[in-house]
Amino acid sequence: MTLTRTLDGMREEMADAPGLHERVAETVAELKRNGAALHAIGVGDPFPDFLLPDPAGSLVERDELLAEGPIVVTFFRGHWCSFCVAAVDALVEALPAMRKLGARLIAVTPETGGQAQRAGCCSQPGFNILVDVDHGLALSCGIAFKSPMPLREMLSGRGLDLMVRQGSEAWFLPVPATFVVDRDGIVRWSFVDVDFTRRAEPSEVLAALRGLSDR
In a domain, 28, yes or no: yes
Question: In this predicted model, what pLDDT tens digit does every residue of 59-79 receive, in sequence order?
Answer: 999 999 999 999 999 999 888
pLDDT for residue 113: 62
Q: How confident is the model at residue 22 (pLDDT cuts 50, 70, 90)?
A: confident
pLDDT for residue 1: 67
Inform me whether the pLDDT recorded for 92 exceeds 80.
Answer: yes
In a domain, 152, yes or no: yes
pTM of model > 0.85: yes
Read off the pLDDT of each residue in 121-147 and give the average, rounded to a whole number: 87
Mean residue pLDDT of the chain comes to: 87
DSSP tag of 175: P
Say what percent of the chain tops pLDDT 90: 55
Read off the pLDDT of each residue in 141-159 and give the average, rounded to a whole number: 82
Question: In this predicted model, what pLDDT tens digit does every residue of 35-64 receive, in sequence order?
Answer: 888 899 999 999 999 999 988 889 999 999
pLDDT for residue 118: 55
Inform me whether the pLDDT recorded for 6 exceeds 80.
Answer: yes
Read off the pLDDT of each residue in 172-199 and give the average, rounded to a whole number: 94
Read off the pLDDT of each residue in 104-121 and give the average, rounded to a whole number: 73
Read off the pLDDT of each residue in 99-125 and give the average, rounded to a whole number: 77
Inform me whether the pLDDT recorded for 128 exceeds 70.
Answer: yes
Q: Kindly report the CATH number assigned to the domain that includes residue 158.
A: 3.40.30.10
How far is it, in rounded angstroms, from Cα 205 to Cα 91? 9
Higher-scoring residue by pLDDT: 127, 149:
127
- Number of domains the chain is built from: 1
pLDDT for residue 133: 87
Q: How confident is the model at residue 132 (pLDDT cuts 50, 70, 90)?
A: very high
In a domain, 214, yes or no: no
Domain that holds residue 191: 3-207
pLDDT for residue 146: 84
How far is it, in rounded angstroms, from Cα 174 to Cα 75? 7
- Order of all β-strands in the sheet with 177-181: 127-131, 104-109, 71-75, 177-181, 187-192
